[in-house]
Structure 1
Amino acid sequence: MDNVESKNNLETIIDESSNLSLNQIRRLLNKMSSSEIAHALESSPPKQRNLLFSLLKTEEEGDVLFELGEEIQQDLISSISNEELAEAVKELELDEIVDILQNLPEERMKKILSGMSQIDRKRIEVGLTFPENTAGGLLNTDVISVRPENSIEVVTTYLRGQKKLPENTDKIFVVNNENEYLGELTISNIITSNPSMIVREIMETT
């Protein structure tokens, strides 16, 4: 789509959506990027904004929510169910999910996280402990993980072989062969444990 057509679609959505049928609006939305849709939502009055958002496919909602400013983002999130929100964000990058979830009430956030895989839930929970705008750097880096059958000596050698550890690393994840979360291993435990010990002997489980 060229820039002229894109601009025309955006202007039509903002200025004329009240005169269009729902199908016409859907067709326009389908031609727009998530950032363009977000701009249209932010430029529309609340009633029109809610209508436009309701016409999006669930799989499109996450990308659009990420592009929105916090106030409008949270206002729209309050209008959808936990199940719909979880479905909307599931394909986003982890730092994008953190950006959306970090402003939710704690109880609602827990319900959203409960529907995710253990490894994703743990990674997001770690990201949520950092100040706003710092989680992205952590979550965009591959999370360091080890197997439960590894010895502490092997883990130490592995860590020393890394060119750089993710910033603020104080623990690593223990996962099985299917990359499913089993527990955590703190850096302090690695340093103070006998090298011959096995990860499963000292890892923390929740």
Structure 2
Amino acid sequence: MKPIRHNRRDDEAVLDAARDCVLAVGVRRTTLTDVARRAGVSRMTIYRRWPDVRTLVGDVMTREWVSVTLGDTPTTDTTRPVREQLVDGLVAGLRAFRSHPLLCKILDVDPELLLPYLFDRRGASQDALLAFVQEALEQGHKDGSVRADHPLRQTRSLFLVIQSFALSLQTMTDAADPELADEAFYDELRHILERTLAP
């Protein structure tokens, strides 16, 4: 039996359509038929690649969130310490992630979709961010700007801090108080990361 070949252009069209459907009606009301119609492909094209909506939305989340958190990461600047660049990148990525329309929609109407990634397993976007952070920490160990430690444990611990800001920040902010607004917490995160990573 020949392996099924996937057309990258069709895949991107389907992911775009699925994203647009979720933004319009949420995950629970999105169907593969709606996605196929919006993407201009047959339902079988989708069924061959994704067995259900949640699998498809998982791939959409991975694509969108890896792009927004890592897509604008600058190339290494040898004139600046790695720790400084990493902290800047993580705070900027968090800010972009939290304002992403897909995350806002899911938190608003389908927050239970995120529970498996908090309690049961890591997702592909989490693994991509972990790999990025670990590589940066190892470079920081080499240039002396990051406290030397077990790189994988250090990476995962750092990620736990960032993840709490990413998904729970809205429970701690108060728009009426500038000292408790989002930006104040981003500054606090920067301080936490700097102090955690400093040698």
Length-normalised TM-score, structure 2:
0.30
The structure where helix makes up a greater share of residues is 2
The structure where strand makes up a greater share of residues is 1
Larger Rg, first or second structure (1 or 2): 1
Length-normalised TM-score, structure 1:
0.29
